[in-house]
A and B are shown apart, each in its own frame.
Chain A
Amino acid sequence: MDSSILTILTFLPILGVILIWLTGKENHSMIKIIAWAVTFIDFVLSLYIYFNFDAAESGFQFVYNVPWISHFGIQYAVGIDGISLWLVILTTFLGWLAVWSSWTAVKDRLKGYMVSLLILQTGMLGVFVSMDLFLFYVFWEVMLIPMYFLIGIWGGPRKIYATIKFVLFTMLGSLLMLVAILFIYFKSGGTTFSILELTRFCVTLPVSTQMWLFAAFGLAFAIKVPMFPFHTWLPDAHVQAPTAGSVILAGVLLKMGTYGFLRFCIPMFPQAFEQFIPAISVLAVIGIIYGALVAMVQKDVKSLVAFSSVSHMGFIMLGLTALNMQGMQGSILQMLNHGISTGALFMIVGMIYERRHTRMIAEFGGVFKSMPIWSTFFIIVALSSIGLPFTNGFVGEFLILTGTFGVAPVYAILGATGVILAACYMLWMIKRVLFGELTKDENKNLTDLKLFEKLVLVPFIIMIFWIGIYPSTFLNPMKTSVEKLIGDVTKYVKHTDIENEAEAFIPYNPHEPQTEEHADVRH
């Protein structure tokens, strides 16, 4: 069970696809029930992994390893560590709720819709559990196809522009990454694609080579994150995507970019990363402030949330550049937070859109009077997105800013303005949408949330407060893995500040002989 659970977890949605395929096209309730059940079981399985996860172990767990294309030394290798654990759970959590949230929203071509969501889920889970670069790349690309359809078929008025832009941006980045992957493969002797072995090899490369490889990998991930100059696909894709698509896109797909930095760019090319830290920090800070400023002037609620994503993802990147315990942990936690808060925001916006068929801020006003329950959910989630204490956003941003302040105070101070700006745009939007006079007739007759809509939102609220009040549940399992990552990286980074910083927080001794070189895979 332990070794095959990740495989079951990853490919369970495919089973759902087959079941749905066998169901009749018109049998909507059956299709929905299958999709719901499959994603729910997937979520439960991921919780099983969480409960059996050994937090003291820094390497990969639940490893399963069989040769796939032995001609090139490609393996089907999956495993999970403290970094990917939460992302896997986030994926199954959001996947389940995304299916649920589309219960009434999607009526047209439901079969294809659910099939796309389920294939997407397999792709996303595969990305997070792959321990083989080739396998990772395959999943990374496979994910594009269902997303193309989700935006393209069930999207808004400019869906075709948005979906093509999304696909082309992502493809450009990932093909460059493919070239870099192949380059590493040959440099390392052309025998393996194993991430662990290639990481061990890559750190020995000269810095100039590392810089190129970092750039190739980094571009793919920076587009996905998206970092500041590559973010232009994001608002289009978000605004045009259907609700569930936006939830998955913001909640999980963007995390793949940051996950890529954590799993590949930073441990594989530590010296190059050191060189790139200033550039990444500057772009991250620009992203934070730019995203927030642009969000402020949006007329559409959904594009406001989309630009707030750019800002929040900037925080995550900033936390990574700190290269210390708080920064890293904060980043990973913020990945979760962003997935939860922004996912919930998109769902809430989707719910009002279903009723009013518009998302323009100017069309609303005083909605609190007609939809008090919806409004309450909206306020809670918006506050968590701002980062109010006792909500999840606070913990993540606080950790990130503390971590960054220890290394580069200027960036931390600039980044902190992002929090203030977030309060401005979110609260202003809340004021214009929820409060004030109920002027429009359409808004007077809105029905409040149905039972299932409340049920969909409640898990989000639970998570928001859980992370906000007791984050240790989430920080503990990732701790050893993050420690190991920082330890491995700081070995190669000459930057003394960072080294001191790292030593101050983790019991790591760089002079200790690395005898456990091969012990990091637990079978």
Chain B
Amino acid sequence: MNLRFDIMIPELFLFGWAIVVLTADLFFIKEKKNALLYMSQFGFLAAAALVIFTPTGPNEVGFGYMFYNDTFASFFKIVILLAGFMAVSSSFEAVQKSIEHKGEFFGLVIMSAVGMMFLVSSTELVSLYVALELSTIPLFILTAFQKRYLKSSEAGLKYLILGALSSALLLYGMSFMYGMTGTTVLLAGSITMLLNSANVHYGLVLSLVLVVAGLGFKLALVPFHMWAPDVYEGAPTPITSYLSVASKAAGLAALTRIVYGFYTVGTAAEYWGILIAILAALAMIIGNFAALLQSNIKRMLAYSSIAQAGYILVGFVAASQLGLSGISIYIFAYLFANMGAFAIVVAVDHKLNSDRIEDYAGMARRSPLIAVCMTIFLLSLAGIPPTAGFIAKYKVFMAAIENGTLFWLVMIAVATTVVSIFYYARVIKEMFITEREVESSESKWILSSPITIAILVGLIGTLIIGIYPEPFLELASTVTQSFVY
């Protein structure tokens, strides 16, 4: 057993920091609890710095293949930590207004991030499962955190039940995987090789269907997406943003670790390619069309994120270096745009007490800068240049076209992108075009500095990747070159 504590320093640090935040809660008087927010921000940034300095590579394996720190993992860790940072930053107003027990709130967010970090590094089924639960159980609590708010508790219960159900499905699939191979190690091709050497038989099909279904719930893939809009609407908005980005990224990394190997090599390839392709097509179609009907911006962004998962899967189906690096850059672009958009939703919710899209009317007059930022985020989500979303969609489409057999999927992606522009443009329309009487009391908005930081980070990320994507594309391709399956 090789106990490599040195390669999990960021996780250990962040775990310790979560405890520190939880404890510090006891020492601050009620008026000073904002310090907890700054502490958590610091924790995320420090952990991100540690991730950068932690060695990565094929030799950085610890605990008997349970923990593997390749560049793929550390890339996703950065994404998760940035998402956590932005979620915590954008929770300033929300925390003051409707969150009691601030220490637990921040402590649980950090704890969930620790779980996700372990998840993206897991290359073994036991540690993968434990990490997955470590990341989702805090999220159940966080979703139901606004105790007196009916929607929040309802969302919490829905998330809990479907989360537990999906865990059960996942575990059942994993048990067959273990039964057929006698091992739980994913790395070094153990499971992959064994499964591929066997012919496609029912056990394999069953286990992979169950695993995909289980992770599909976590990723909110269609047809396992029903919980997502309700949970996104009911949860406190910063948690919604965190859910929509960090837990999606982590789930995607897990899906990649488990499933990717199966269809890049061997006999199962053709079956899995088509299965995931159909999931991607469904996600794009249902996500985008359902988003058209929404009047609540959180629900609209929920359906949009379901659709975004579909676009990510297009890169996944392409099953190539290009596809994997497309996924990485897509997640990165999606991180900035979605977190930024949600930060603005938090700000609007705080000022107007509303999530309705109609209430965004007249925003351009009231606070033009916020409206412009929101427009840029939505354009990025829609994939219009010069934003990060365009580069990401471009790369994913590229991967699918390179594959050669996926033209139909690209066509669906193209058609649904046009649909998506319709609902993103609707928000922009409300903000800029629809006229609304502005009351003098709400004439000028002054945002707190943490939420401004969150919006700025999103804006800078979105524009830099959009205008000068070179270093990020390089990063994405180095990330995937080291990916072992």
Binding site for B on A (CB under 8 A): 68-72, 109, 112, 137-138, 141-142, 144-145, 148-149, 152-153, 159-160, 163-164, 167-168, 171-172, 175-176, 178-179, 182-183, 185-186, 190
Contact = CB atoms under 8 A, between A and B. Distances in A.
Contacts, number: 79
Give the interface residue-count category, chain B: 20 to 34
A70 B474 CA distance: 10
A69 B418 contact: no
Interface of B: 364-365, 368, 379, 384-386, 390, 394, 397-398, 401-402, 410-411, 414-415, 417-418, 421-422, 425, 428-429, 432-433, 468-470, 473-474, 477
Nearest to B472: A71
7 tightest CB-CB pairs across the interface, nearest first?
A: A71-B473, A175-B414, A138-B385, A182-B401, A152-B433, A141-B385, A172-B418
B386 to A, nearest CB: 6
A164 B390 contact: no
Contacts of A152: 429, 432-433
A69 B410 CA distance: 23
A145 B421 CA distance: 11
Contact of A178 (B364, B368, B394, B477): B394
5 contacts: A70-B470, A109-B365, A152-B429, A152-B433, A163-B429
Given A72-B473, A137-B385, A168-B422, 4 more contacts: A69-B469, A71-B474, A112-B432, A164-B422
Contacts of B401: 179, 182-183, 186
A293 B470 CA distance: 52
A170 to B, nearest CB: 10
Contact of B402 (A71, A112, A176, A186): A186
Contacts of A142: 384-386
B432 A171 contact: no
Nearest to A111: B368
Contacts of B394: 178, 182
B414 A176 contact: yes
B478 to A, nearest CB: 11
A141 B433 contact: no
A477 to B, nearest CB: 31
A109 B394 CA distance: 34
A179 B397 contact: yes
Contacts of A178: 394, 397, 414
Given A138-B386, A160-B433, A182 B398 contact: yes
B433 A175 contact: no
Contacts of B411: 179
A69 B392 CA distance: 13
Contact of B432 (A70, A153, A182, A186): A153
A131 B43 CA distance: 47
Nearest to B469: A69
Given A70-B470, A71-B470, A71-B474, A185 B398 contact: yes
Contacts of B417: 171, 175
A108 B318 CA distance: 49
B429 A112 contact: no
Contacts of B397: 178-179, 182
A283 to B, nearest CB: 23
A178 B429 CA distance: 26
B161 to A, nearest CB: 39
A142 B387 CA distance: 10
Contacts of A168: 418, 421-422
With a 10 A CB-CB cut-off, give which of B368, B386, B398 has the most chain A CB atoms.
B398
A69 B422 contact: no
A179 B410 contact: yes
Nearest to A140: B385
B429 A160 contact: yes
A167 B477 contact: no
Contacts of B398: 72, 182, 185-186
Contacts of B477: 71
A164 B385 contact: no
A168 B425 CA distance: 10
B473 to A, nearest CB: 4
A57 B410 CA distance: 41
Contacts of A145: 379, 384
Contacts of A141: 384-385, 390
Nearest to B399: A182
Nearest to B371: A112
A342 B398 CA distance: 40
A109 B431 CA distance: 14
Nearest to B476: A71
Given A138-B385, A142-B385, A172-B418, A153 B470 contact: no
Contacts of A112: 364, 368, 432
A447 B218 CA distance: 69
Nearest to B426: A164
B87 to A, nearest CB: 28
A284 B379 CA distance: 35
A182 B433 CA distance: 35
Contacts of A138: 385-386, 390
A152 to B, nearest CB: 5
Nearest to A212: B407
A167 B365 CA distance: 23
A160 B361 CA distance: 14
A137 B364 CA distance: 28
B10 to A, nearest CB: 28
B432 A69 contact: no
A159 B386 contact: no
Contacts of A183: 401
With a 10 A CB-CB cut-off, give which of B364, B414, B469 has the most chain A CB atoms.
B414
A164 B425 contact: yes
A148 B365 CA distance: 17
Nearest to B473: A71
Nearest to B382: A171
A412 B477 CA distance: 55
A185 B322 CA distance: 14
Given A69-B469, A186-B402, A153 B386 contact: no
A127 to B, nearest CB: 12
Contacts of B428: 148
Contact of A167 (B415, B425, B433, B473): B425
Nearest to B322: A190
Contacts of B432: 112, 149, 152-153
Contacts of B390: 138, 141
B422 A179 contact: no
A25 to B, nearest CB: 8
With a 10 A CB-CB cut-off, give which of B385, B411, B470 has the most chain A CB atoms.
B385
Nearest to A148: B425
A179 B414 contact: yes
B64 to A, nearest CB: 37
Nearest to A164: B425
A15 B268 CA distance: 56
Contacts of A171: 417-418, 421
A292 B428 CA distance: 36
A72 B398 CA distance: 10
B445 to A, nearest CB: 16
A175 B425 contact: no
Nearest to A178: B397
B4 to A, nearest CB: 33
A149 B428 CA distance: 9
Contacts of B418: 168, 171-172, 175
A176 B401 CA distance: 12
A190 B402 CA distance: 9
Contact of B421 (A70, A153, A167, A186): A167
B315 to A, nearest CB: 13
Given A167-B421, A176-B414, A183-B401, A144 B470 contact: no
Nearest to A184: B401
B472 to A, nearest CB: 9
